Amino acid sequence: MSQQKVDKYKEQKARRKELVEKERRQKMRMKIVTVLIAVVVLAGIGTGIGLTIRNQYIKIQNSKPDYSSSSLVVQDMAGILETEAAETGAEETAESSEGNEAETKAEETAGGTN
In this predicted model, what pLDDT tens digit does every residue of 28-61 receive, in sequence order? 999 999 999 999 999 999 999 999 999 999 999 9
d(CA 28, CA 30): 5
Pair 108, 102: CB distance under 8 Å: no
- 88-110 confidence digits (pLDDT tens): 665 556 555 555 555 565 566 66
b vs e for 84-99, b when ≥16 Cβ sit within 10 Å of the residue's Cβ?
eeeeeeeeeeeeeeee
How many whole angstroms separate alpha carbon 35 and alpha carbon 41? 10
pLDDT score of 114 more than 50: no
